[in-house]
Structure 1
Amino acid sequence: MSSFPDYYAILNVSKVATTDEIRQAYKKESLKTHPDRLTNATPAEKKAATEKFQAVADAYYVLSDPSRRKEYDSLYSTRKEKERTNSPNASANFFSTFANMFTGGAKNTQGADGPAADRPDAEGVFADVFDEMLRPEVQRHAPWWAWTGAVCGAGIGFIVANVPGLMVGAYAGNRLGAIRDAKGRSVAAVFSELGGSQKAEILRALAAKVLGSAASAI
């Protein structure tokens, strides 16, 4: 392989960075490169951002796990500085070339469970790392089941007991739907189904918390 992905450079961390520093670096770089922030991008710009976002996920997947990082570092040490690069293409080639290097199960880019050689699902990695921050934002933007439950409950209540039944049924349906929202689906699944403008708004909110208010406007 002519070029080797420098995952430390991709995450902008030192080679002696701690696991926590790597996690924080991933948060920053993933928000900077997330393609859904580019609401007015051309197809070419969107493609380039998607490739960078995937490479950032690859870097975090490798460096955040002690055993994977140890195996990666052993290869890293054999490469000359001029062979190392932060090019997304190098990351793709890395997973293809060293197909059986890692142990443990990764998620492939289609999101299904696959062999350890598969590249991680970038959106899945993002949702896992940002779960605590992403969950309230997603639920605030997508209370589908809560509203659906309210409408259905209101309809049934009205049939049974007119206006009083409508009000009681709407409340009960809303509460049941909210439970479905909170527990029935993963954050990643709900986030992936949001519209482009909703995703961009959520990402701006996350960026304001992680990168600061100035960076969130990028």
Structure 2
Amino acid sequence: MSAFPDYYSILGIQKSASSEEIKQAYRKESLRTHPDRLTKATNAEKKSATEKFQAVADAYYVLSDPIRRKEYDSLYSSKSQTDKSADPKASSNFFHQFASMFGNAGTGNTSRDNGHEQRPDAQNVFADVFDELLRPEVERHTPWWSYLGTVCGGGVGFIVANVPGLVLGAFTGNRIGAVRDAKGKSVAAVFGELGATQKAEILRALAMKVLGSAL
């Protein structure tokens, strides 16, 4: 029989941990294991980090919801210590075998296959939990339409009213572009479109806020 994932060990918390302690533990461990911070890693290192990052998301997904946690704890208590493992592969096997135990308690962060709930999307879980801290960092790194609006507005303004028109047009174009930047995409979607270097910079900034040190 495959090993049973010890989600409490994966998050580094006690079985009696509160919901807030679970959330804080997830924030710390997801930042430590996020594969996008490894800009110079080998493929093997990236794969290992991705597996760990997914297992941390699995742990948070299960333990952060009272219903899922209760179901998980029932199984957890029935397992001996030697059956439990913090190996990311144990989490993968767990979702394959026990996904149906969660019923309809999903949060929208999972995919579904033939009506059966699958593992949570690690990037979406990360974006949801870090939304408050991640959003300003993402918006700061993606002012594409603001830049385009500035250039286009400035060009039109210069044609119409020379230099004063250029200044006014550029400002107006920038504000219109900023509105476009802020709409239509989730934090997860915008973060996913960033380059590796930009993602690494954002993760380091988040690490400073959450951990007090850069990763």
TM-score by length of 1: 0.91
The DSSP-based 3-state class of the residue aligned with 2:78 is: coil
Shift of 1:80: 1.1
Q: Contact between 1:37 and 1:203, CA under 8 Å: does it hold in 2?
A: yes
1:94 aligns with 2:86: no
Provide the C-alpha distance between the structure 2 equivalents of 1:116 and 1:176, rounded to a whole number of angstroms: 43
> Is this contact kept in 2: 1:107–1:113, CA < 8 A?
no
Looking at structure 1, the residues matched to 209 and 99 of structure 2 have their Cα atoms a distance apart, in angstroms, of 37
The runs of 4+ residues in structure 1 deviating greater than 4 Å are 112-116
Q: Give the superposition deviation at 1:211.
A: 1.0
Contact residue 96 and residue 117 of structure 1 kept, 8 A: no
SS at match of 1:149: helix
TM-fit CA distance, 1:147: 1.1
* Residue number in structure 2 paired with 1:107: 109
More strand by percentage: 2
Match of 1:35 in 2: 35
SS of corresponding position for 2:101: coil
**Is residue 2:66 matched to residue 1:66?**
yes
Using the TM superposition, give the Cα deviation of residue 116 of structure 1 relative to its aligned residue in structure 2, in angstroms: 5.6
Instruction: Within 5 Å, give how 1:12-23 maps onto structure 2.
Output: 12-23=12-23
**Residues 117-147 of structure 1, C-alpha deviations (whole Å, 9 max, x = no match):** 2111111111111111111111112211211
Matches within 5 A, 1:135-146: 135-146=135-146
- CA offset at residue 35 of structure 1? 0.5
SS at match of 1:119: strand
Mapped to 1, the partners of 2:32 and 2:72 lie a distance apart of: 25
| Unmatched segments (≥5 aa) in structure 2 | none
The alignment covers a number of residue pairs equal to 212
- Aligned equivalent of 2:131: 131
Indicate if the aligned counterparts of 2:153 and 2:166 stay in contact, CA closer than 8 A: yes
Distance 2:146 2:30 in 1: 30
Post-superposition offset of 1:113 = 6.5
Question: 1:63 Cα shift?
Answer: 0.2
Q: Deviations over 1:17-70 (max 9, x none)?
A: 000000000000000000011111100000000000000000000000000000
In the TM superposition, 1:158-177 aligns within 5 A as: 158-177=158-177
Q: Match of 2:52, as an amino acid?
A: K
**Structure number with higher relative contact order (C-alpha < 8 Å, ≥ 6 residues apart):** 2
1:126 partner letter:
F
| Cα deviations by residue, 1:147-200 (Å, 9 ceiling, x for unpaired) | 122122223323333333222221111111112222332111111111111111
CA contact (8 A) 2:2 2:93 kept: no
SS at match of 2:17: coil
| Greater mean deviation of Cα atoms: 51-60 or 97-106 | 97-106
Asked if the contact 1:101/1:117 (under 8 Å) is kept, the reply is no
**d(CA) in 1 for partners of 2:37, 2:175:** 32
Aligned to 1:204: 204
Q: Could you say what secondary structure the match of 1:13 adopts? A: coil
Conservation of the 8 A alpha-carbon contact between 1:152 and 1:173: yes
